[in-house]
Amino acid sequence: MAAIQSQESAVPVRQFDGRRVLAARRAARLQRPELGRKLGLSKASIGDWERCDAAPSPERLPALAAALGQDLDVLFPRLGPPDLKDLRCDSGHTQAEAARALGISRLPLSNAEAGTRRLNAAYVEPLADLYLVSREELEAAQERSFGNSTAPKAEDRPPRTLGEKITSFLQRKPLSDGEIADAVNAAAGFPAVDAAGIEALRTDSQGSAEVQASLPPESLFAGLGAAFGVQPWYFAPGEEVERQILDRLEFLSLMRSDGVSVAARGASEGVSAAMLATLSEVLVRHEVRHEKAPRPEEG
């Protein structure tokens, strides 16, 4: 996944992944030429984005998300709060366009975004209105442009490692390492791990791999799930979860081909845009992973 980043600021900006664009376009049933026409671009440009050969300029992302019928924060997530450049790009304006709208030169905006000279107080309110944010949000973004904000921490992003996942659930349900070990041992059916082993898992230390190797994954995940009252797959690696999803989708497909009606339960509100984007991305990633030619074709 490629991050579209400002050279002047260390604050993370929106994450661009061409596979998400491809998945969203297919979900919207748009061909590349159609999407290109919506954005005033060629289908070749869209193809370059989808193959991650190129990335759109940050200020194009809002229009791209809108053309695909997706929420900007879902399709192009950002880790951490925005700085001034991010606010401008989220409003879909280039620096020249923003300056023109305020009736000023680009220099004040350029200096403020680069963290070299603060905005004139007279520009703050009009700029906030242009970017569709409050004055307080714009001033906070300016502080980040000047480096007066702490960098995002690990907890500002979804947990990835097993240790991060355990730590995340501990914030909701405090348990001792011994209590977690008891739950894992109960699932395994034998005393496979002690409190020290759980500490190794929780901290992602060198001993974590040894502990995981001594336990069947299903027992470990089942024990952790039982301890925290969640489904075991919360703790499984992302690829394993995707494989299970694909297996179940294939099963549903077979049932439908055999004339068996498959109805969703408890889905009165429909599938959210975020869920649809995630499912489409999983399917596209699975397709690309198994194709001999890695470059996705039109369609």
pLDDT in tens, 227-237: 999 888 888 88
Strands 2-3 and 15-16: antiparallel
Would you say how long the chain is, in residues?
299
- Output the CA torsion sign for 163, 166, 169, 170: negative
C-alpha closest to that of 81 among 24, 120, 133: 133
- Tally of CB atoms within 10 A around 125: 12
d(CA 81, CA 9): 12
Please name the helix (run of DSSP H) or strand (run of DSSP E) that holds residue 81, with its range, or none: none
- Taking only the tens place, the pLDDT of each residue in 66-96 is 999 999 988 888 877 899 999 999 999 999 9
Under DSSP, the state recorded for 78 is B
The pLDDT value recorded for residue 227 is 94
pLDDT (average), residues 14-27: 89
CA angle 291, 293, 294 (to 5 degrees): 80
Q: Decide if 24 contacts 70 (C-beta within 8 A).
A: yes
The pLDDT value recorded for residue 78 is 81
d(CA 221, CA 219): 6
CA angle 21, 68, 75 (to 5 degrees): 50
The pLDDT value recorded for residue 114 is 92
d(CA 128, CA 137): 8
Confidence of residue 284 (pLDDT cuts 50, 70, 90): low
Residues in Cβ contact with 267 at an 8 Å cutoff, skipping those fewer than 6 apart: none
The pLDDT value recorded for residue 268 is 42
The pLDDT value recorded for residue 9 is 37
194 φ, ψ (degrees, to nearest 5) = -115, -175
The pLDDT value recorded for residue 272 is 54
- Whether 294 has a pLDDT exceeding 80, the answer reads no
CA atoms within 13 A on the CB side of 5: 11
pLDDT (average), residues 175-199: 93
